[in-house]
Copies of this chain bind each other. A is one copy, B any other.
């Protein structure tokens, strides 16, 4: 069933039917109703590609997720982010297309995307420091919103991010207040912008109390369970073992917990752990009382907000470089306690 058939069925012109369905005023209410009813009854849905050709808009936004060849790790946060974004897209009648792009092919990919016109805008995932994608997208004139930020990029751009610095500063201060002095940081890859900022927050809090960060108590790596376990195990074997850990992901924290158990210690008593918690649907941080004390911020909400911002820019009803900083809650769970002496 296409527009032509529908209009013939109604004894109207394609013009009128099109206008009736798209809410233009040049058509009487009675006719509009008749058209809308018939469209529904006959399961008419306008062909997306034809519509896109005629309007010059794809009615789709692209999510480009980078896959770095060495570790080939898919961000676990992705599913929830997409789900949040999707809420906004569905409401606005937009489609969501995903491309997994190997590191290095990104410039080419964005160019093709623009030329082929299959997305009206893009969400940029996993920004790194000095990320070259941003200036490229600005140059291409393709609307985009970055999930996260990219330090050292001085062209203005739109982003939605959590306050990583403040979150980790607060978490560190909380541990300091509990009397901890040897606080380890098990961070994500510090080429990623978020990890860089978290480290800055951590170091800032230490510095504010006159403490120098100890390089032996800082790790940077892919945030897996095994990584958390190994890092914590090594540190706990030391003479001056840390009494508290700060981790960048719940998965890593679980690895730390395992190392704590393996060492015959008790979480929340002998060793404290604070983690960042993305509030993932499949990895809830406990039930009523959180397992881990955590800096929490829903990545699903971030997805929704990013998508709304991008749609706003595509539609032109939002100032172009918009930004949105989300604060993380510091929620107290069972994994922290006063420092043992």
Contact = CB atoms under 8 A, between A and B. Distances in A.
Contact of A224 (B49, B71, B117, B284): B284
Interface string A73-85: 1111011101100
25 contacts: A43-B115, A45-B112, A45-B115, A49-B50, A50-B53, A73-B281, A74-B281, A74-B282, A75-B282, A76-B76, A76-B79, A78-B79, A82-B98, A83-B100, A86-B98, A96-B99, A97-B97, A97-B98, A98-B98, A223-B282, A224-B284, A225-B254, A226-B284, A254-B254, A257-B258
Given A97-B98, A100-B86, A116 B76 contact: no
A283 B225 contact: yes
Interface in A50-68: 50, 52-53, 58, 60, 67
Interface in A235-269: 251, 254, 257-258, 261
A49 B44 CA distance: 19
Contacts of A254: 225, 254
A96 B95 contact: no
B74 A79 contact: yes
| Residue among A43, A46, A47, A286 facing the most chain B CB atoms (10 A cut-off) | A47
Given A47-B53, A86-B100, 18 more contacts: A1-B115, A47-B115, A48-B117, A49-B53, A49-B118, A73-B281, A74-B281, A76-B76, A76-B79, A86-B98, A86-B99, A90-B99, A95-B97, A96-B97, A96-B98, A225-B283, A226-B287, A251-B282
